[in-house]
Structure 1
Amino acid sequence: MERAVTYSVVARKKPNDLEGSAKYYALAQARGEMGIREMADRIQQMCTVTRADTMAVLISLGTVMRDGLCAGEIVRLGDLGSFQIGLNGEGSATEEEYHTGLIKKAHINFRPGADLSDILTSLSYERVPVKPKKEE
């Protein structure tokens, strides 16, 4: 299995600097996708559980994580990492003036654990052409 992260080089301008020149940056390019069925197949090959058992656990994991996050819990998956709800919105001048209408949206924060953080120190990179944009 190829272990290099593929990237393309793209020009980017600072949004607030209309007259400035663009600089070139690396943009990670995905090689494909791995869905829940493929994960179940790969897990089945590594241990004694069947693909069906693995699928059941992975699907249930999503439901349990959703329930925990909606209840305001931090969901910890051991060395894989943790998930927690975060909020974006407007501020108020005083604590007393703050109300929930100032919350504009929620998002999910992911903090990688040791298993995922460790891979970031040993990546290799391979330059590939820029992917063409999909036509609508």
Structure 2
Amino acid sequence: MILHEIKKIVMRIGKNKGKTMYFASPLPQDRTTTRQVEDYIINLTSLSRSDIRSCITALAEVLRNEMLAGHAVDFADLGSFKLVSIGKQVEKEKDVSAETLKKARIQFFPRAELRAMAEKVQRIIQKPDEKE
């Protein structure tokens, strides 16, 4: 579930310049801590907390090392992490260089099951008079 609140903004440019426009803005989400994730896995498996922590630490290390080497990293049913860096558009081929590349960023590409779950998530807008 994603909760939203209604916010307003006075438009400074475009066809609605000077008008007050309203939009739904997501409220901060609760965060599941690493310890809560560990507890969840402990209840689902026969692993100990130290085994789980070792596994999470190792996965993070593998992800760092493989991405630094320029590899995409696949995490089974979750999806894959990839480094992405695209080039800025320039007028002449000879002007394309490392300096025209945008800063690299990490992108996560979820598997179809996760994408389908995201489509089904409940979205709620809290209106000011309904907050209680």
TM-score past 0.5 threshold: yes
Residue in structure 2 matching 1:76, options 74, 91, 100: 74
Distance 1:80 1:55, change over 3 A: same
Q: Give the equivalent residue in structure 2 for 1:11.
A: 8
The separation in 1 between residues aligned to 2:8 and 2:27, in whole angstroms, is 15
Q: Which moved more, 1:45-54 or 1:4-13?
A: 4-13
Q: Give the equivalent residue in structure 2 for 1:97.
A: 95
Instruction: Read off the aligned partner of 2:45 and give its amino acid letter.
Output: C
Distance 1:31 1:93, change over 3 A: closer
1:1-136 correspondence runs (5 A): 4-12=1-9, 16-17=13-14, 19-128=17-126
Percent of residue pairs identical: 23
* Alignment RMSD: 2.4
User: Any stretches of 5+ residues in structure 2 without a counterpart?
Assistant: none
The structure that is helix-richer by fraction is 2
CA deviation map 1:25-78 (0-9, x unaligned): 222223321222221111111111111111111111111111111111111112
Distance 1:48 1:16, change over 3 A: farther
1:13, CA displacement in angstroms? Answer: 5.6
User: Any stretches of 5+ residues in structure 1 without a counterpart?
Assistant: 131-136
1:82, CA displacement in angstroms? Answer: 1.0
1:118, CA displacement in angstroms? Answer: 2.2
Instruction: Read off the aligned partner of 2:124 and give its amino acid letter.
Output: E
Moved over 6 A (4+): none
CA deviation map 1:1-28 (0-9, x unaligned): xxx3222122246674382424322222
TM-score normalised by length of structure 1? 0.77
Aligned length: 127
